Amino acid sequence: MLNSYQEADKVLLALDCIIFGFDDEKLKILLIQRDFEPEKGRWSLIGGFLKKDESLDESAARVLNHYTGLHDIYMEQLYAFSEIDRDPVERTISMAYYALINIEDHNRELIANYNAQWFPVSEAPSLIFDHDRMVQHAMRRLRYRASTKPVGFELLPEKFTMRQLLKLYEALFDKELDKRNFISKINSLDILVKLDEKDMESSRKGSYLFQFDQEKYEQKMEGTFALNL
């Protein structure tokens, strides 16, 4: 039995964040172009290393804030990647997180300073190390969560049209949905508030805006949200 901390191997622990956003048409992912070796010039997930005085969640939140300027964002721990040779520089374990943000809220100047860029998930370049695997894991988890919980609303502005909501779920599940059937399912959940305001940019007559009612969801449906798309 090991009884000496000094004799134990020391390894680095990285935090890699799969940051998703939605631009009213496509699900996007935030990537950064590396300016150092190895793999200089290639695209990577947003990441950093765990500090001694941080928990994993605190470290992931720090990394996300550092690159986007955002706080209090939906973030979920995903999976630990621990293959021995996953990082050619040094033995490094990576804990992957995924985060959902309203793409309009992040600091555009900040990500530009770090040579970061949004890509549609379906058109993203090949990533370094095992980051493509991380994205695949994140997409599977996100689709599961979006079908069982209203996490998709984290990707929308506070006020949104039904068309935006439809386009979001089409982007999440990468398939075309029947508009009438989708709206009927959403209305049956009774977790939206229809506002008197309209988005006048969507059509000449405008489209009514809606808000997600978190309190109503918690009272009526928590644990039973299911879209079955």
Domain boundaries, the chain: 5-148, 156-220
151's CB contacts (< 8 A; 6+ apart) are 74, 100, 142, 145
Question: Domain spanning 5-148 has what CATH number?
Answer: 3.90.79.10
pTM score, two decimals? 0.93
Q: What are phi and psi of 128, to 5 degrees?
A: -70, 160
Per-residue pLDDT of the chain (229 residues; tens, 9 = 90+): 556 788 888 999 999 999 999 999 999 999 999 999 999 999 999 999 999 999 999 999 999 999 988 999 999 999 999 999 999 999 999 999 999 999 988 888 888 888 899 999 999 999 999 999 999 999 999 999 999 899 999 999 999 999 999 999 999 999 999 999 999 999 988 899 999 999 888 777 889 999 999 888 888 666 567 777 7
Tell me the H-state helices in the chain: 56-68, 108-113, 131-148, 162-173, 179-189, 214-220
Name the CATH topology of 156-220. Arc Repressor Mutant, subunit A (1.10.10)
3-class DSSP assignment, residue 224: coil
In the block, which residue shows the tokens 């059937």? Answer: 181
Tell me how far apart the 2 most distant CA atoms of the chain are, in Å.
74
- Contact indicator for 116, 31 with CB cutoff of 8 Å: yes
| DSSP state, residue 55 | -
Helix-strand-coil percent breakdown of the chain, rounded to 5?
Answer: 35, 30, 40
